[in-house]
Structure 1
Amino acid sequence: MARVGQKTCVSNWPGILSAISGRRFPLNWTIQPSTTTSAAPQKLVVYGPWGVNTPEGKIFLDLIKPFEKKYNVVIEYTGTTDYSTEAQQMTSGTPPFDVVVFAPVGLARQLAAGGYLTDLTPYLQSSGLLSELIPYYLEPLNVSGRIYGVPVDAWSKPGIYAYVPTMQKYGISMPTAINERWSWDQFLQYIGKLKGAGVIPVGTGAADQWPLVIIFEPIAYSLGGKDLYYAIMCHKISYTSPIVEQAFEFYLSLVASGAFGPTAFAASQHFIDVYALMKNGTVAMYFMGDWTPFFNKNYTAFMPIMAPSINPELAGQYFVVSGGDWALVPKNAPHNKTLAIQFALWLASK
């Protein structure tokens, strides 16, 4: 399995390719709480990528309760992935939030370089937390030797998640080693077999748009390896380049094969809807991330399998797209900046 380091490209995608799976962060580090008083609670506004009614969102809201109690603070949380708007709010000098959990590394680095984020380096050093965090995940927000964001979680996208009962029902063997990895032609054959049985081979999540990128990513790295992946994600290559056009041709060949089912059906699916369609036997596979078993509370029926091999020269290599979310404190945090910094570091310690 190939592992490469974090690229610090300017992109709206984290674009971290590695063999690291979804690791959580430490550990033993704690913040000494403020002295308890009868004063009215302080307020912090936090934006993050998890919807309040999603499994992740509910866990996050439970996670922050001890901080609220220790620091006599009420956290007002908003779930959104509108990173462009969040960036504009920070550059305006009047962001509505004190802490934002942010995914696009390139955009965060631009904000740091422009002076819109709080330098967390001295607080990480004085707290001792700096030595506890995984350097691999600190480096993306290290700008000119200063750290402007702390990692709060990690995720990976291993390729495809297959619903095991459906695959077994139709006699489709799933690769468990690189030398068993499907070729693209085999993948298309299995798509045809599933279609013939009346099953939609692949779910899309297209109504939410971002899942479509997860289909394209393994096509890119299976065709041109990490170099092509980084070139595309870091905007270092034209979309009219022959190899990029070839990648899109593979994508279009999936559409033409009927892999996603009727157009209206494919376009209507929200990210979370696909899981129910898999469990009821309507859909067999899904290009998705390692949060899939967690969302479904089932670590056996939803099996990660390697994306099909395209380039014979890369058949012996396997890439995983991995990334995370980072807590940022705007330079002009609107409420209590000291408390916002404490909260960001506290999140990183959990």
Structure 2
Amino acid sequence: MSNPTPPAPPRVAIVGAGLGGLLCATVLRRRGIHATVLERDPGPHHRDQGGSLDLHEHTGQAALRTAGLHERFLELSRPEGQEMREYDHTGRLIGHEDGAEGPARPEIDRTDLRNMLLDDLGEENVRFGTAVRDVSLIPQGRARLGLGDGTAEEFDLVIGADGAWSKVRPALSDAAPLYTGNTLVETWCTDVDHQHPVLARMVGHGMMLATDADDPTHLLIAQRNGDASIRVYIGLKCELDWAERAGVDLADTEAVRAHFLTVFAGWHEDLLRVLRENEGPFVNRPVHRLPYPHTWPHTPGATLLGDAAHLMPPAGQGANLALIDGADLAVAIAEAVRDGAGLDAAVHAYEQAMHPRGATAAEESARALEH
């Protein structure tokens, strides 16, 4: 009597080659399941990946352990980057944490972390330059991806790991990102220890925060990265079109600098160095969030992870949640395939754990933004 033919492995698509999508694909691959990863960027180094991240023990680091990459992470990370210095607008140091106490949350540059994941998965396993136009659910619990070139492909499961403006989310939820009333304007200084020694000393090994207790509408943040640069974030409570209202052309670096030197008039000159000595342009980054808790009825054929599922203000949790989402979903899928259980049941179980975790983190991040 012949043995029954084993079922074909599920066809899984991951939309987005960010941290969560790559982690999910890596864990699946290590468990013998190939996922098709689609990324709209034309190549892995097409754009800047952002600043430094602190990875938490029970989320980001746990995910890297699942992927077998925790030791490599420790080699690349910077425990000293947990240092935090707080100044008032007069330049007086009013708070200092060296990071030695409390939970271990070593810093790593987002670019280094993404490169580590991409190297492990293999660039050849990501279809760069592949934009997703839309996702439609089709019978038998499957999904069809409409691609930017006009073609379409069908999968047993489509995972939306494509961030705030996800193309997968509309297949599951009507929710759209909301502007929080806060904007970060980003710039940077390079080779700070040699070219900007005063800034380097004020920031220390980790992050600097400067505020004016009498005016909470703006603040300055500077964070050291592993490449000897400092990322600067100008925090504003403002209208979404603040630059237009102020008559400032965001493409004109000198005009933006002059505007912010007026906004921060009266602040200590050493703090104003982050505005005077920056080498990069000023990049406007409005802060959006999804409604929370953001949930959707379980729907066979598609699910979400990371910012696509629970976009929240930047308060140290977004990347960590994307990583643990990716790990948990991949493990659930792999175990379902191994045990001959249904793929849909695995995704449903993942969502039941992910929804409350994301809702709690989103609420905490919203509270942090208010203060």
Q: Assess same fold via TM > 0.5.
A: no
Higher relative contact order (CA 8 A, sep 6+): 1
Greater per-residue strand proportion: 2
TM-score with structure 2 setting the length: 0.27
TM-score with structure 1 setting the length: 0.28
Greater per-residue helix proportion: 1
